[in-house]
Amino acid sequence: MAVYEIKMRRCKVKMRRYKMKMRKCKVKMAVYEIKRTKRIVRPRLHPASEGNRPLKVLEL
């Protein structure tokens, strides 16, 4: 089962990277929205991710 476990681990790592990328993308989009509308759009981020860097970026 070792091979299976290794594959699973790789998949998890990939998923983590993908999620991080998506989060960055969301932040970028939110910033873009703010710039376009010239007013602060409250980011719809997960409550668990409060206090993360993205929130600070968005609270211009």
At 22-47, the pLDDT tens digits run 888 888 887 777 777 765 555 555 55
The domain total for the chain is 1
Q: Work out the number of other CB atoms within 10 angstroms of the CB of residue 30.
A: 20
pTM of the model: 0.38
Structural domain range at position 55: 23-60
29 found inside a domain: yes
* pLDDT attached to residue 4: 78
Angle at 20 between CA 22 and CA 58, to 5 degrees: 70
45 found inside a domain: yes
- pLDDT exceeding 70 applies to what percent of the chain? 58
10 found inside a domain: no
